[in-house]
């Protein structure tokens, strides 16, 4: 089952590495969209949605050999 994770930048923040995790453990895009609307009202912007399918990470893809 695909899990959605939602990240966003707080109001007045422009540095991508300062994004906050706003939502996790959700399996419905409807919930993601609800949280995006609520977060916009609080000034969050630049949302990013990631998915996780339960697979183990492959850290060898990070190596530059």
- What are residue 39's phi and psi, to 5 degrees? -65, -35
Dihedral angle sign, alpha carbons of residues 23, 25, 29, 30: negative
Helices (H), 1-65: 29-41
Share of the chain above pLDDT 70, in %: 98
pLDDT above 80: residue 65: no
pLDDT of residue 43: 97
| pTM, to two decimals | 0.80
**Residue with more model confidence, 39 or 2:** 39
């Amino acid at each position: 089952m695909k899990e959605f994770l939602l990240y966003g930048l707080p109001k007045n923040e422009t540095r991508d590495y300062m994004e906050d995790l706003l939502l996790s453990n959700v399996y419905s895009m409807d919930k993601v969209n609800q949280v995006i609307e609520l977060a916009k009202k609080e000034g969050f912007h630049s949302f990013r949605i990631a998915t996780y399918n339960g697979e183990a990470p492959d850290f060898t893809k990070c190596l530059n050999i």
